[in-house]
Amino acid sequence: MKPAKTTRKRPKRKVATRSTARRRVTATAAVADIQAAGTSAPPTHDAFLADLLGAFPNEVYLAGRLVNGELGLSADAKLRVFLPDFHWMSSKCLKLFDGNYRFNNGTLGTARDSPFERLLSVLERLPEGSREVYQLGDRFDLWREWVSLRKDTKRDKVPIADVYRRVREDKDVGPLADRLDAVITKYVRGNHDAWLSEVEKPGAAIPPSEDAISVGGTPLRLEHGKRFDLVELLPDAFKASAVAFAPHLKAGEKDIGLFSKDNMERIKSVFQIRKEKRKLDIHVPVWPDGACLVQGAADVDTLSASHTCALDADLFAGGPGGTRELDDYPYAGYFRPYAELADRKAATPVIYVVGHTHHARLVSGHTRNQDRLVVLMDCGGWVERCSIRKDVAGGMTYTESRQIGVQFGNDIRIYQLGGTVPE
Residue 24 scores a pLDDT above 60: no
pLDDT in tens, 283-310: 677 889 999 999 999 999 999 999 999 9
Residue 215 scores a pLDDT above 70: yes
**CB within 8 A of 369, min separation 6: which ones?**
none
pLDDT in tens, 315-355: 876 544 455 667 767 788 888 889 888 888 877 889 999 99
Range among 40-49, 100-109, 253-262 with highest mean pLDDT value? 253-262
Per-residue pLDDT, 152: 96
Per-residue pLDDT, 15: 40
Query: Higher-confidence residue: 231 or 61?
Result: 61
Per-residue pLDDT, 244: 92
Per-residue pLDDT, 291: 96
pLDDT in tens, 366-411: 887 767 899 999 999 999 999 999 766 667 899 999 999 999 999 9
Tell me the β-bridge partners of 377. 353, 362
**CA-to-CA distance for 334 and 271, rounded, in angstroms?**
19
Question: Nearest CA to 167 among 185, 143, 142, 192?
Answer: 142
Contact criterion met (CB below 8 Å) for 286 and 311: yes
Mean pLDDT of the chain: 84
How far are the Cα atoms of 43, 178, 278 from residue 319, in angstroms, in the given order?
42, 50, 7
**CA-to-CA distance for 341 and 56, rounded, in angstroms?**
38
Scored b (16 or more CB within 10 A) or e, 230-243 reads eeeeeeeeebbeeb
Position 18 confidence tier, pLDDT thresholds 50, 70, 90 = very low
Contact criterion met (CB below 8 Å) for 190 and 224: yes
**Which is it for the CA torsion 356, 208, 352, 344, positive or negative?**
positive
∠ at Cα 352 (402, 66), nearest 5°? 70
Which of the 8 DSSP states describes residue 352?
A: E
How far are the Cα atoms of 205, 258, 278, 309, 396 from residue 363, in angstroms, in the given order?
38, 11, 24, 9, 22
Residue 25 scores a pLDDT above 50: no
pTM of the model: 0.88
Which of the 8 DSSP states describes residue 230?
A: G
Query: Higher-confidence residue: 72 or 2?
Result: 72
